Amino acid sequence: MPKPLKTFIVVLLFGLVCFAAPRGLEAVLGQHRIWIPVLYQYLVGGVVFALGIWLILAKGSCVPGRGDDRLWLAMLVIGFFMYLGMHLGWTYIALAT
Amino acid sequence: MQDLGLSLDNTALMIVVIVGVVYFVAILAFGLLFNRFSHDTNDFFYSGQRFPFWLITGSMIATGIGSYSFLKYAQAGYEFGMSSTMTYLNDWFVMPFFIFGWLPIIFYSKVRSIPEYFERRFNKTARYLAVAVILSYMLFYIGYNLFTIGVAVEGITGISLWMSIPVIGLVLGTYVTLGGQTAVIFTDLVQGFMLYFTGALLLIVGVGYLGGFGEFWGALPVTHRVPVLTSEKFDAIAIFWGEGIAGSIAFTFMNQGFIMRYLSAKSVREGKKAAFLNVVILMPVSAIVVGCVGWIARALVENGQMAAPGDTSHVFVHTAWKILSGNNWLFGFVMAALTAALMSTVDTLINACAAIGINDIYRPLVKKDASEEHYLKAAKLTSAAVSVLGILLAFLFISAGKNLFNLHYKGILVIIPALVTTIFMGAFWKRFNATAAVAAIAVGMVITYSSLWRNHGIAVAAGLMLALFVALAATRRERRRGFGALSVLMAAILLVALVDPSRNLIQRISDFLGGPARADDYFRSVLGMGMTALVGFVVTWFTPEDDPVKTRGLTIDSLDEAMRMFKGSEPNFEKGVVVRRLHLDVVEDAELEPGLVWLPAPVMEALRARDGDLIYIADDRRILAGLRSVKLTARLAPRQDATRITLRPCDLGDLLPHKPVYVEKLL
């Protein structure tokens, strides 16, 4: 596939996620609106994060198995889920108490 | 003073001032201790790239918390609750790009400023466009910090902002002009701990004042307890785009002060550790430290223990005074912390502005081959000039009013999008060329600025640019395709802006992304970034590729090459250990060339080092944090004493010959 077309598809898909995320969440969580912003943040932000991981692996700046790249990659992914867990837990406690 | 409800009598005011002055003098003296470690402009601006991660991380606490942070986030915490933490807690999404992209690129390519990167990656025009934008961005921050501390001083003493800002700015300018990056890092480290201590003090005392954590939590409305909120006045989706994406990229990729801090690390690995700890630990703690006073204020008001403040921009000062029960000494300490926050942010920015002034303007354009002593003097004079400019900008903010939260975003979100997008595309897309970069910055900036006048502004800007690009396409045969493509793009933008002039283009973006009904300031950055990226893509596809040799080591595709160029030989990724308690032999030996160090075989083996590897040698006393250290190239020693390493006197740097050292392989 030609590179410009590939880039265009990636941008289009990203745009689609950005468009669909708030509407999809609204439709699914209409009764629990307070959860929408936090889930939106991690859905769209998650796509940005995943694009970053894909880019650094595809371009060879992160090579698992070279030096401590694998460790850093793992820490990046763990950090993402740590933040996600923290925000979800915090919201849950705020609503439950 | 009366409108704040503070009852400071003359004695109390005197105590507050005494605490502040004592603190200021102590920090000044401490900072000057490190002045002797600045031998040239590399030391003055980048501390000789020798510090471990913990020092970089620790010093970032105070750099990341400006005096505006205390005032702005206390205000946001009071109005919107714990969602005030959002700005600090949404940086993780861009971390892969920074840790494996931008950080190694700037470190290994040995660029000294973002504009310098622009010239090497693109051309001179891109460099000077970047100089203009980055200087505006940093001067804005300096002026903004001076303005906010003026607001706090006015709140406590009643002294007019027109009086306090010049006095504070001039005193501060004198202090930062005398220090260098090393002094900035060490003073910021101390001030960072002081800020955290202050935050903890206010949180504990405030929660105690309310009767305990249960009472504090229970008094807050649910909307003030959740960490990510969308309400009528606060939209999380807007904050996500404006702060989490545009703001985070700007702060990590474009903030020259932070870039210089990372460049002070002894290696990329230490820089990665610093960045990681900064986002995982420091940012969450900082978010609590700067926002907690606002949350406590809201709980106090909800409980009926405090009247609702009339002017919420004073909520920090008002609440601190209230919960400290009028204790003059503690209140003086808190106000000193506010000053610390100002000093530690502004000193970094003044140093960064001076670095750009010298490296991007004075050295290449005014005086090319002067001595290092001359450049040091010029750097200090530039620092002084930057301080004066910051004061003048702060005056502008006084005229603009006191809505801190909006003022901050209005300025930043108009300034940053075009440059941030260009940096990002330059680092991560090899094909992105110089013509496209210049066009993207210029068009992106014009469209972003013009959007301040809504669709009418965008239509006028697009129309004017359309005429310009059509003329250029007709006259510049060699770039006809690029200008032609830009003309078509401008015509499309003009059409979109004219189809329904009453409906703001920014509002359409907001609607598309699920944002609020009125979110101009946040979505303006999305418009700017999108427009810049669009122009970048279009022009790149319609113009020839730059010489690939020019981009070597400057994009994510060529990091291996960047490492090779940085080291001068093939990188060595084998993991070794740090070898401690070694002794120095400092000799003039004809066989030992300058820049080399002889390491005995057991040490080479422990380090997993080979001839030609980059070695870091530092005083073994950990408390010095690499202050006395050098970087040299390893050679296997002809003599084999396992506890001694050999180097020439000219390579000793700040090391003390009689003190034991430790060695570590860097690359």
Note the ipTM here.
0.94
For chain B, the average pLDDT equals 84
**% of chain B residues with pLDDT over 90:** 23
Would the CB atoms of A56 and B237 count as touching at under 8 Å?
Answer: no
pLDDT band at B31 (very low <50, low <70, confident <90, very high): low
Of B82, B93, B230, the CB nearest to A49: B93
B625 against A88, higher pLDDT:
A88
Q: Inspect the interface and report whether the beta carbons of B97 and A52 lie closer than 8 Å.
A: yes
Share of chain B above pLDDT 70, in %: 92
The residue-averaged pLDDT of B127-151 equals: 83
**Could you tell me if B94 and B15 lie in one domain?**
yes
User: What confidence tier does B179 reach under pLDDT thresholds 50, 70, 90?
Assistant: low
pLDDT in tens, B442-490: 899 888 888 888 788 888 888 898 899 888 888 887 778 888 888 988 8
DSSP state of B230: B
- What residue type is assigned to position B153 of the chain? V
Q: How far apart are CA B227 and CA B223, in angstroms?
A: 9
At B238 the pLDDT is 86
Go through B287-313 and write b for each residue having 16 or more CB atoms within 10 A of its CB, e for each that does not.
bbbbbbbbbbbbbbbbbeebeebeebb
Q: Which residue has the higher pLDDT, A7 or B404?
A: A7
Domain ranges of chain A: 3-96
| Mean pLDDT, rounded, for B617-622 | 89
Average pLDDT over residues B122-136: 88
* Chain A closest-CA separation from residue B222 CA (Å): 6
CB proximity under 8 Å: B 564-583 to A = 573, 575
Distance from CA of A1 to the nearest CA of B (A): 16
Distances (CA, A) of B594 to A16, B632, B638, B647, B651: 59, 9, 16, 8, 7
Q: Does B89 touch chain A (CB under 8 A)?
A: yes
Query: Do residue B578 and residue B629 come from a single domain?
Result: yes
Residue B5 has pLDDT above 60, yes or no: no
B604 vs B453: CA distance, rounded Å: 65
Residue B153 backbone dihedrals phi, psi, to 5 degrees = -65, -40
**Mean pLDDT score of chain A:** 90
pLDDT at B404 (0 to 100):
53
- B218-222, B275-279, B380-384, B587-591: least confidently modelled range: B587-591
Chain-chain contact of A38 with B228 (C-beta, under 8 angstroms): yes
B112-116, B366-370, B496-500: least confidently modelled range: B496-500
Domain that holds residue B488: 417-551
CA B549, chain centre distance (Å): 30
Considering the domain architecture, whether residues B521 and B651 belong to the same structural domain is answered as no
Whether residue B589 sits in one domain with residue B462: no
Higher pLDDT, B299 or B159: B299
Asked if residue B157 lies in contact with residue B314, where contact means CB atoms within 8 angstroms, the answer is no
CB contact under 8 A, A91 and B99: no
- A41 vs B228: CA distance, rounded Å: 9
- For residues B452 and B365, state if they share a domain: no
Q: What is the dihedral of CA B618, B195, B338, B259, to 10 degrees?
A: 40
Q: B596 and B458, same structural domain?
A: no
Tell me the average pLDDT across B592-608.
89
Residues B378 and B448 in one domain: no
Looking at the structure, tell me whether residues B366 and B514 fall in a common domain.
no
pTM listed for this prediction: 0.87
Q: Are residues B389 and B444 in the same domain?
A: no
- What part of A 14-43 touches B (C-beta under 8 Å)? 18-19, 21-23, 26, 33-34, 36-38, 40-41
pLDDT digits (tens, 9 = 90+) for B524-553: 888 899 999 999 998 998 888 888 888 889
Query: Is residue B30 located within the same domain as residue B69?
Result: yes
Q: How confident is the model at residue B511 (pLDDT cuts 50, 70, 90)?
A: confident
B606-622 average pLDDT score: 90
Q: How many domains does chain B have?
A: 3
Verify whether the Cβ–Cβ distance A45 to B90 is below 8 Å: yes
Indicate the residue among B373, B403, B433 that finishes a domain. B403
CA distance B520 to B514: 13
Same domain, B398 and B427: no
Choice between B367 and B178, residue whose per-residue pLDDT is larger: B367
The verdict on a CB contact (< 8 Å) between B236 and A49 is no
Residue B520: the pLDDT is: 62
Alpha-carbon span B615 to A89, nearest angstrom:
45
Torsion angle defined by CA atoms of residues B83, B89, B91 and B93, in that order, rounded to the nearest 10 degrees? -90
User: Would B563 be classed as within a structural domain?
Assistant: no
Residue B493 forms contact with A (CB below 8 Å): no
| Sequence-ordered list of residues with C-beta below 8 angstroms from that of B641, at least 6 positions apart, any chain | B600
Given B494, B522, B551, the domain boundary residue is B551
Distance CA B77, CA B66 (A): 16
- Is B432 an 8 Å CB contact of chain A? no
Interface test with A, best of B226, B538, B540, B573 (most A CBs within 10 A): B226
Confidence of residue B205 (pLDDT cuts 50, 70, 90): very high
